[in-house]
Amino acid sequence: ISLGIKAALFLSERHAGLTSDQSAKVIGLLEKFHLPLTLAPEITTEKVMEKLARDKKFSAGAIRFVLLDQIGSAKVIKTVTADDLREAIEFLR
């Protein structure tokens, strides 16, 4: 779950207007609780992309993301591209 939160923060900065300071606050909280924040090296980007394609939030060629425009305020975004997803996955390394 913490990896998904970190990836969503990355995407939130690019698509929803979350500031890097707000993102850093949330990541700091995850670190405080010693939650995993890096993807295991054996998990490839393509493996993650394959799993995302089967996700229940995936429909009509797009995946819906709930992203933050600020801490405590979220919105559904459907404009995240495959390249954006790959960048978010790489951010987890």
- Could you report the per-residue pLDDT of 82-92, keeping only the tens digit for each? 899 999 999 99
| pTM (predicted TM-score) | 0.89
Total number of domains in the chain? 1
Q: What is the pLDDT of residue 53?
A: 81
**Residue whose C-alpha is closest to residue 5's, from 17, 28, 21:** 28
Q: What are phi and psi of 55, to 5 degrees?
A: -65, 145
Q: What is the pLDDT of residue 70?
A: 97
List the CATH number of the domain containing 83. Answer: 1.20.1090.10
What range defines the domain where residue 80 resides?
A: 2-91
Q: What is the pLDDT of residue 59?
A: 65
CB contact at 8 A, 57 and 63: yes
Six-digit token string for 12: 């939130």
Instruction: Report the C-alpha dihedral over residues 75, 80, 86, 87, rounded to 10 degrees.
Output: -70
- Which are the contacts of 47, defined by CB distance < 8 A and separation ≥ 6? none
- Please compute the mean of the pLDDT values over residues 42-67 and round it to a whole number: 83
List, for residues 69-86, the tens digit of each pLDDT value: 999 999 999 888 889 999
